[in-house]
Amino acid sequence: MKKYMAKDMKKFERDDNGNLICPPGDYSGIKSFPDECSFGERCSFGKGCSFGEWCSFGELCSFGARCSFGERCSFGEWCSFGEECTAKSPYWSYVYEPPFATEGKIYPTSMAREYWSERLGLKLKDCDNNINALVRSKLASLLKRKGWTKCERRILESWK
């Protein structure tokens, strides 16, 4: 696995949306990452890393202890997280709870929109802009319903 340093990231390209495209590799020598980085599969990161807002991570990425993630980061399947990792308002689309502490709302991804529309009994146009308005007014009654999984309940409770 190729090991990258901060100076290598200055050479990485950006996509049409301005996201920094970061190939798969070992990033354990870097502690701080800017907003809008997009990492490939199987990337590894050391302890105490901090990531900016809107970062995305491919499948099977691994993070050391005490990593922190800015708002609206998203994670591929089978990522592993060290102890005491935290994320601010992450995107989450899996049936298991996020394996890290969260601050703020947990957002379902666009891939999970149909699932959440069905579970909530609400027509969600997207999982970003209108979910707050639709869910907030019905949240108390939604939380009283039985049958939520631990993950679903945690996501809903994050909207209080």
pLDDT in tens, 60-101: 999 999 999 999 999 999 999 999 999 999 999 898 999 999
**Contact yes or no for 115/95 (Cβ under 8 A):** no
Total-model pTM: 0.87
Distances (CA, A) of 108 to 43, 51, 84, 111, 124: 23, 20, 22, 8, 11
What pLDDT is recorded for position 128? Answer: 61
pLDDT tens column, 12-40:
999 999 999 999 999 999 999 999 999 99
- Read off the pLDDT band of 112 (50, 70, 90): confident
**Contact yes or no for 35/17 (Cβ under 8 A):** no
- Read off the pLDDT band of 51 (50, 70, 90): very high
Q: Give just the sign of the alpha carbon dihedral 37, 32, 61, 93.
A: negative
Q: Which residues contact 138 (CB under 8 A, 6 or more apart)?
A: 120, 122
Distances (CA, A) of 66 to 20, 21, 34: 23, 24, 17
Nearest one of 34, 35, 29, 64 to 48, comparing CA atoms: 64
